[in-house]
Amino acid sequence: MLFDVTNKTGQWLCAEDKKFYQIQIQSRGKTGYATTKNASQSTIHPSKRKIAGKVNDKLEQKDSFEESSNDSSDNEDSQSSSDDSEATQLSIENFDQSTHLKQSQQSMFSAVSLVQSGKLSVRRAAIVSTILNKSGVKITTPSQSGVYRAVYREASKVMKTLMNTLCNSSWCIHFDGKIIKKKEHQVVLLRNEVKEVRLAVLVLPDGKATTIASAIQKTLDDYNLWAAIKMIVSDTTNVNTGSKSGVVVRLQKLFVQHGESAPVFIGCQHHILDRVLRHVCDALLGDSTESPNMNYPFVSKILKDYEMLKKDFESKAKKCTPNLKEQEVGWRDDMKFLHHLICVFKHFKNFQKIPKVNFKALPGISNARWNSRAIFALLTFILLPDERKNLQKLCEFICGQWSDAWFSDHYYRTEQYEFLLYAVNGYPKALRCFQTHWSQSPSSIHTQRSNVCAERTIKVLQDIAPLCHSSEKLNLRFIFTNKSL
């Protein structure tokens, strides 16, 4: 027990308390108890410092007024000196706090940039900031949760900006799919003459045309893009190009229902060239390439003995073997390798000598990418002289109009259609495929008639998908990558 409230004759343990009690009795409880010294800014929570500063300023003004009316001029000078000292201290503390806040904001911005541009997870971005701090870099270390919130806060801002601005321009819409963690993922992006925008990731229960079209419809509703879409580019799969219920047909009908003209559909020229190459290979080599037996005999030979064949070729090559001067193609490594092998074949055809070959790793084999067979055909022609007679015509087709179209800029050109039509004229299935899917309609938007941009975007999706635990977060993280374009 601290004291006995019933003992009227008790002893006061503190003279200040006794005096305060007497003052309260005289003022009938109107007198309070407080110190005359202001609390230091460092002891006040940051969210309350502005309020506390205003209160302290008012108290200081009141005290100064009362003291000036009761004290002598000497006391006024003394008090003024004391007030100046306290004001100086307060200014220093406010400056320190402002500097600390700016450093915290800068460090958070740096951490968010690591996530957005450096392709780091939120956890790794926080760790990198901590390591930099310990290494002597003057940077505050944001927490993992702080970086996490900042990333998605910035991503939401990017999404809001896109929702307000995209409808003011004309666009070509691209989409492509990939199964990730047993779920269908569709990436949707926009392109025009000026820029490319990663619009959405659609996580779907299946890859049916009606499911994909409905999800894209919702995205167009969210961004109010029905009047802005003038062209559609996608792969020429059956799901996309079905004449009655494909994704493209469904979307075109939806545009009409919204009172807009149906966008022009352009099949991806790379995808069409891939399909044409398959028909030409089957026609020349006489083998059916239905899964699972989708490899030609020469493909199996190269897969089995590639390293040995390379060593044997390089040991026989003369030191005077010329180096090729070829144009760099800024694409995937397998496409760079294909371009190099085409240059090698053209050199051989002109000079009957194989120049120096810069061998690379073999590409993967799948029905989705038939151009990989072009690499195997050219490698077989180079490494196995006995097979050259069988592959001569196929390699000439690959290195002729087909490669010119494959490595072109894929803008609309009427003459390109005529050249390719002449090249496939002797192959009925290839001719029918080409005439069915290769559009002769001019582009509504001056942009590439290829879906490679969507293929590259799927690579971005594969990088960020393991870092996100919900479709909503994945979509925001995907949209946030627009800052790195």
Sign of CA dihedral 228, 230, 231, 232: positive
Q: Which pLDDT score is estimated for 98?
A: 47
More confident residue, 26 or 68: 26
User: Do residue 333 and residue 467 come from a single domain?
Assistant: no
Q: Which pLDDT score is estimated for 183?
A: 95
User: Do residue 462 and residue 409 come from a single domain?
Assistant: no
Q: How far is CA 367 from the centre of its chain?
A: 27
pTM: 0.72
Q: Which pLDDT score is estimated for 21?
A: 78
In this predicted structure, the answer to whether residue 187 has a pLDDT above a threshold of 90 is yes
Percent of the chain with pLDDT over 90: 57
User: Do residue 234 and residue 375 come from a single domain?
Assistant: no
User: Do residue 384 and residue 403 come from a single domain?
Assistant: yes
Among 109, 111, 123, smallest CA distance to 467 is for: 123
In this predicted structure, the answer to whether residue 229 has a pLDDT above a threshold of 90 is yes
> Mutual orientation of helices 144-165 and 471-480 as an angle, nearest 10°?
70
Distance CA 318, CA 344 (A): 16
User: Do residue 429 and residue 288 come from a single domain?
Assistant: yes
pLDDT band for 16, please (50, 70, 90 cuts).
confident
Q: Which pLDDT score is estimated for 176?
A: 97
User: Do residue 285 and residue 385 come from a single domain?
Assistant: yes
169 CB burial (10 A radius; 0-12, 13-18, 19+) = middle
In this predicted structure, the answer to whether residue 134 has a pLDDT above a threshold of 90 is no
pLDDT band for 121, please (50, 70, 90 cuts).
low
What does the pLDDT average to over 155-164?
95
> DSSP letters along 271-318, please?
HHHHHHHHHHHHHHH-----TT----HHHHHHHHHHHHHHHHHHHHS-
Q: Which pLDDT score is estimated for 295?
A: 78
Is 55 a domain residue? yes
User: Do residue 417 and residue 285 come from a single domain?
Assistant: yes
Provide CB contacts within 8 A for 221, sequence distance 6+. none
More confident residue, 228 or 8: 228
Q: Which of 129, 145, 172 is the last residue of a domain?
A: 129
Q: Which pLDDT score is estimated for 90?
A: 46
In order of 134, 324, 427, the CA distances from 137 in angstroms are: 7, 48, 66
Distance CA 474, CA 460 (A): 11
pLDDT in tens, 323-339: 777 777 766 889 999 99
Q: How far is CA 430 from the centre of its chain?
A: 37
Q: Which of 11-15, 58-62, 300-304 has the lowest mean pLDDT?
A: 58-62
In this predicted structure, the answer to whether residue 5 has a pLDDT above a threshold of 70 is no
Among 259, 185, 127, smallest CA distance to 464 is for: 185
Q: What is the mean pLDDT of the chain?
A: 82
User: Do residue 176 and residue 254 come from a single domain?
Assistant: yes
Q: Which of 81, 108, 129 is the last residue of a domain?
A: 129
Neighbour count for residue 236 (Cβ, 10 Å): 23
**Across the strands, what pairs with 186?**
177, 202
Sign of CA dihedral 251, 252, 258, 261: positive
Distance CA 295, CA 182 (A): 27
Report the CATH number that the domain containing residue 190 is assigned in CATH. Answer: 3.30.420.10
Q: Which of 175-189, 309-323, 366-380, 430-444 has the lowest mean pLDDT?
A: 309-323
Q: What are phi and psi of 428, to 5 degrees?
A: -55, -45
User: Do residue 120 and residue 259 come from a single domain?
Assistant: no
Q: Which domain holds residue 318?
A: 271-437
Q: Which pLDDT score is estimated for 22?
A: 80
Q: Which pLDDT score is estimated for 141?
A: 58
What does the pLDDT average to over 434-438?
96
Task: Work out how many domains the chain is built from and give that number.
Answer: 3
User: Is the Cβ–Cβ distance between 204 and 185 less than 8 Å?
Assistant: yes
pLDDT in tens, 253-311: 999 999 999 999 999 999 999 999 999 999 999 765 555 556 788 999 999 999 999 99
What does the pLDDT average to over 349-368?
89
Is 1 a domain residue? no
In this predicted structure, the answer to whether residue 70 has a pLDDT above a threshold of 80 is no
User: Do residue 388 and residue 324 come from a single domain?
Assistant: yes
> DSSP letters along 192-217, please?
-SS-EEEEEEEEES---HHHHHHHHH
Residue 78, both tokens: 């003394």
User: Do residue 278 and residue 417 come from a single domain?
Assistant: yes
User: Do residue 291 and residue 391 come from a single domain?
Assistant: yes
Q: Which of 204-218, 256-270, 463-477 has the lowest mean pLDDT?
A: 463-477
Is 8 a domain residue? no
Is 151 a domain residue? no
